[in-house]
């Protein structure tokens, strides 16, 4: 059975790059009848925060990525939070030392940094020179007496390694050019990412690891480490990275591309899944709008590109707008009300629910709705009143409209078309000179939703009050 995992670090809000990895793992597992596991890598004590851990789980669930095993769900291979697995890691480290595959290294951090600096000057790879392997007992005792705490390093004995990557094909590494013996336990006693990820992947029976290409250089280390511990490495696939709008690499410090920010802006989860799936994958045709069921049915890892992708916020907004159009009117209102409720807008709930369908086809995400809903406010500033209201022709038109609105006051959903049909023969103007004074008098703005949509929602009595308020400008 396919078993994949998403293993984020709770050191910030998850963003597009993180969550695309989660999505591709989820889709790969579900398409193959496998399991999607969530594992929290929180061994970075200083930067890991409980609130980020909670947020990442909430964001995944909001997107529809429900894990089969993991925190709050459980499973037979738990615990699924690394800080709760420290004893397991220590057992593996002790066995590697006992078998001569790892060693306590008393090389200081300052010495390591000096090695890197010298390599940079000499234009060599910043490779650790393994000097800690050959320290004499006297040298080790001297360093112990000086209070130096050792790291534990894994010995690299086989520098040449070839990986069959599920996305990139054959990839060959020469670790002599890349890295020397690497740290698997820091001087503070905490195991490193390299150690814990290998132990967890092995014990949790992970069959396929799909992750970003920034981990490609780590993979030979992990394959060697897994082999040294007696475990079979999983199959690996490395996704090309997503770049920002300006071509810069995405970072979790870029709050504007966090899933939390997209939720706050009122994007739809199915639109987000659709958009990020297309950042590096294609359904095999020119389709851009894919529903969540279609995405799950069509995803194929063989169609994942090796080329990097660029995040385009305008394209994402457009695509989200297309998904809004796909919603039924009832679903649009329900989701919009859920988004708007915490904002505490000063309008009656029934008025909001009644007018929301008017905006379904002209917003791209829900955070644009508060501005649109200002049409419900009876007090507003007028755009260009001197052009559309304070002219003799506009005054005559509005006086006739005001009188005519009385005929429609008793109707629960008055018809704008019928109102207009009766107004036109009475008016001395037409075209823009007819429609714009009405629009600006009723909404304050030159542009906005069609008057035929807002006319029945606001009602004739309310529109008459707004018409009289506009006419009052002539007395000023």
Residues with catalytic annotation?
252
What span, in angstroms and rounded, lies between the C-alpha atoms of 459 and 94?
Answer: 78
What six digits make up the tokens of 399? Answer: 């006086």
Beta bridge partners of 172: 162
C-alpha neighbours within 13 Å on the C-beta side of residue 25: 32
Structure tokens at 469: 């308020």
Contact 383, 440 (CB under 8 A): yes
Candidates 175, 177, 173, 251; CA nearest to 212 is: 251
Decide: 2 and 35 in contact? Cβ < 8 Å: yes
103 C-beta neighbours (distance < 10 Å), count: 19
Nearest to 209 by CA among 69, 16, 7, 1: 7
Within 10 angstroms of residue 334's Cβ, the number of other Cβ atoms is 14
DSSP 283-301: -SSS-----HHHHHHH--G
Alpha helices in 170-302 (DSSP H): 193-203, 219-228, 259-265, 269-277, 292-298
Please give the full DSSP string across 361-423, using - where no structure is assigned.
TS-SSGGGHHHHGGGG-S--PPSSHHHHTSSHHHHHHHHHHHHHHGGGTT-SS--HHHHHHHH
Strand partners, 6: 38
Question: If DSSP codes are grouped into helix, strand and coil, which group holds residue 151?
Answer: strand
């Amino acid at each position: 059975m396919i078993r994949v995992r998403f293993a984020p670090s709770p050191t910030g809000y998850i963003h597009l790059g993180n969550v695309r990895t989660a999505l591709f793992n989820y889709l790969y597992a579900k398409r193959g009848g496998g399991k999607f596991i969530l594992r929290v890598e929180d061994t970075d004590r200083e930067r890991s925060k409980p609130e980020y851990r909670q947020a990442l789980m909430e964001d995944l669930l909001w997107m529809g990525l429900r894990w089969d095993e993991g925190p709050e769900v459980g499973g037979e291979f738990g615990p699924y939070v690394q800080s709760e697995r420290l004893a397991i890691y220590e057992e593996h480290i002790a066995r590697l030392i006992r078998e001569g595959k790892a060693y306590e290294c008393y090389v200081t951090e300052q010495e390591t940094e000096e090695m890197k600096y010298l390599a940079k000057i000499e234009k060599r790879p910043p490779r650790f020179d393994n000097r800690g392997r050959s320290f004499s007992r006297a040298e080790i005792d001297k360093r112990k007496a000086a209070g130096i705490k050792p790291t534990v390093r894994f010995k690299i004995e086989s520098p040449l390694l070839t990986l069959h990557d599920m996305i990139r094909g054959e990839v060959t590494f020469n670790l002599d050019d890349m890295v020397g013996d690497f740290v698997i336990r820091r001087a503070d006693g905490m195991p490193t990412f390299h150690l814990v990820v290998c132990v967890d992947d092995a014990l949790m029976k992970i069959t396929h690891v799909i992750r970003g290409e920034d981990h490609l250089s780590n993979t030979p280390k992990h394959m060697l480490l897994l082999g040294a511990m007696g475990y079979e490495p999983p199959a690996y696939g490395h996704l090309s990275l997503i770049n920002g709008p300006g071509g810069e690499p995405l970072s979790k410090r870029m709050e504007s591309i966090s899933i939390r920010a997209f939720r706050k802006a009122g994007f739809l989860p199915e639109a987000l899944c659709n958009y990020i799936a297309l950042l590096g994958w294609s359904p095999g045709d020119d389709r851009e709008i894919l529903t969540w069921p279609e995405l799950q049915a069509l995803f194929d890892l063989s169609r994942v590109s090796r080329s990097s992708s660029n995040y385009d916020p305008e394209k994402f907004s457009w695509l989200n707008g297309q998904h809004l159009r796909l919603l039924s009117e009832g679903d649009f209102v329900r989701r919009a009300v859920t988004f708007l409720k915490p904002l505490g807008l000063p309008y009656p709930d029934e008025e909001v629910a009644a007018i929301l369908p008017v905006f379904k086809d002209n917003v791209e995400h829900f955070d644009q709705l508060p501005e649109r809903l200002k049409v419900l406010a009876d007090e507003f500033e007028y755009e260009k009143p001197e052009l559309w209201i304070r002219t003799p022709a506009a005054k005559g038109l509005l006086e006739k409209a005001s009188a005519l609105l009385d005929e429609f006051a008793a109707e629960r959903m008055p018809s704008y078309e019928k109102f207009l049909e009766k107004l036109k023969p009475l008016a001395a103007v037409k075209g823009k000179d007819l429609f714009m004074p009405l629009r600006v008098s009723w909404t304050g703005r030159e542009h906005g939703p069609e008057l035929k949509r807002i006319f029945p929602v606001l009602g004739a009595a309310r529109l008459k009050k707004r018409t009289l308020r506009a006419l009052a400008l002539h007395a000023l």
